[in-house]
Structure 1
Amino acid sequence: MRLRLVMPAAVRVTLDETLAAAVRRLAGWRWRVEVEPLGPVPAGRLVFPPSIPPGAGSATLRFADDSGNERALAVRLSWSKPAVVALRPLERGIVIAPSDVEVREVRVTRSLQLATEAGEVVGRRLVRSLLAGEPVPLNYLSATPIIQRGDSVIITVRKSSLVVEVRGEALDPGAEGDRIRVRNLQSKAVLQAVITGPGRVEVP
């Protein structure tokens, strides 16, 4: 028995899919976008805009026909992408654990920069509370403090080629790179220092 595979002469693409592909290209968007035309779609080539900001709620597209005549079409846009969401209500100040979050496809707007991988949020502290199912914006996160108030620290002071290290006490909590107050235990002076690692700070 001989089998013959018959392929269609052309693959039809729906109008909405064509518009969505054009919007993704103009936005540099790799994920899903839904496009709702607010009127008949003009014939011709899409000539405007040169770009669309990802997350925009609407846009005006302009098409030119073979004679150079242009017609405009307003569209509503709905953007989706994978993002990290809370699996339960998460209170401000907690350190996020792997069991607190998962990645789902969510609607997005350009006003929020969302975490897209669990590794971006696990181990970091929330600065604002989240509801169950709510995506995690990157600006809701702070690094977990590696020094707490009252911790013993080594204070490093550099002057040219001279490096001096003394014991001190942290007066503020902070993550690596944060500027905190520390007390020199020898002189009792309070200094501003930058956290360089666990238990270590440096006076700039």
Structure 2
Amino acid sequence: MVRLGDIADPLGGLSRERWEELAARPLWPAPPAPGRPLQINRQRLESALKERLGELAASCILPASLVIQRGGAVYLEPDLRALVIRALTPQINLLGGHGDLTDFRLPAYAFTAHEGQSIELERGVVAPGRIGLRFAVKELDGTARRRFTGSVFLNLWMDVPCAAVPLNRGDAVSPDRVTFRSENLAYTRGAIWDGKGGPWQAKRAIGVGEAILADDLAPLAAIHRGDRVTLVYRRGNVEMRTMVEALEEGGPGDTIAVRNLSSKKQVYATVRDADTVETK
């Protein structure tokens, strides 16, 4: 038998004795099959309460529907939230910085069919922003009987490299032009530069205080447009040298267009250093 105390909690100034008397009042028979949830709509719930409580039923706050089950256990939303925090915290700590889980989107409840079952959060990708969650209802031997989903938002604050001065496209990104500030990686547009490597130059304009992304950087150009450099032509044992004008910028290993200063012919060559390009 389902009693009032099985589905309700007292609010207000009811005495303990009065609540114990009300909690013991039967409402309707328990579901016949154990481990199978039964949904009670608001109309049926209101009717049962009026019959058993009389005028006191008008003081009850009713949900749109109620789900009950014979046997097993129920995990309420706070229980699922605690499960998520407990499971994700070690993974968040591995990311570094300071993590904060917010905006939980979880079921209001989840049942297990019997006491031997439990609910676990399956391991997934943990990264700043919204994280998809997948729960599994498992038997003692680890067999998953069913699954359900949810999500949570991870704010991850870390010190990241930012522009200390305005950087224009092509500007060298030197240590004196970089500072660090705390940034929420959940709202960054891409992978943050790790502050290593180089020398680098900016591929786009970056404002003061703006985080520097890995895609914002390119190797610092050894040769710039308009530079006059030596073109080395090699084929077998033959080597020829001539002066050319760079028509675009590039770093070591890049292929750029150059123009012969004598013949005005344009060719493509590979940058070797700040003074030399090569072709075959």
Same fold (TM over 0.5): yes
**Aligned-residue CA RMSD (Å):** 3.2
SS across alignment from 1:21: helix
Query: In terms of Rg, which structure is larger?
Result: 2
State percent identity of aligned pairs. Answer: 21
Deviation at 1:193, TM superposition (A): 0.9
Please tell me whether residue 125 in structure 1 is matched to residue 201 in structure 2.
yes
Query: Which residue, out of 128, 139, 148, partners 1:55?
Result: 128
Deviation at 1:15, TM superposition (A): 5.8
Deviation at 1:185, TM superposition (A): 3.8
Structure 2 residue ranges without an equivalent (≥5): 1-81, 111-117
Partner of 1:35: 101
Please tell me whether residue 113 in structure 1 is matched to residue 180 in structure 2.
no
Listed one character per residue, the Cα deviations across residues 38-81 of structure 1 (whole Å, up to 9, x for unaligned) are: 3469763222xx53163342312314344645443321222333
**More helix by percentage:** 2
Listed one character per residue, the Cα deviations across residues 172-201 of structure 1 (whole Å, up to 9, x for unaligned) are: 332222222223345442211111111111
Kindly report which structure 2 residues correspond to 1:27-176, keeping only aligned pairs within 5 A, or say none: 29-36=95-102, 37-39=104-106, 44-47=119-122, 50-52=123-125, 54-66=127-139, 68-69=144-145, 70-109=147-186, 111-117=189-195, 119-120=196-197, 123-176=199-252
Listed one character per residue, the Cα deviations across residues 14-56 of structure 1 (whole Å, up to 9, x for unaligned) are: 766524335549xx74554322333469763222xx5316334
Say how many residue pairs are matched: 185
SS across alignment from 2:183: strand
SS across alignment from 1:44: strand
Give 2:105's aligned amino acid: L
Give 2:121's aligned amino acid: L
Deviation at 1:136, TM superposition (A): 0.3
Does the CA contact (< 8 Å) of 1:103 and 1:116 recur in 2? Answer: no
Does the CA contact (< 8 Å) of 1:41 and 1:73 recur in 2? Answer: no
SS across alignment from 2:153: strand
Q: TM-score, normalised by structure 1?
A: 0.71
Deviation at 1:120, TM superposition (A): 4.2
Does the CA contact (< 8 Å) of 1:16 and 1:35 recur in 2? Answer: no
CA distance in 1: counterparts of 2:98 and 2:109, whole angstroms: 20
Structure 1 residue ranges without an equivalent (≥5): 1-13
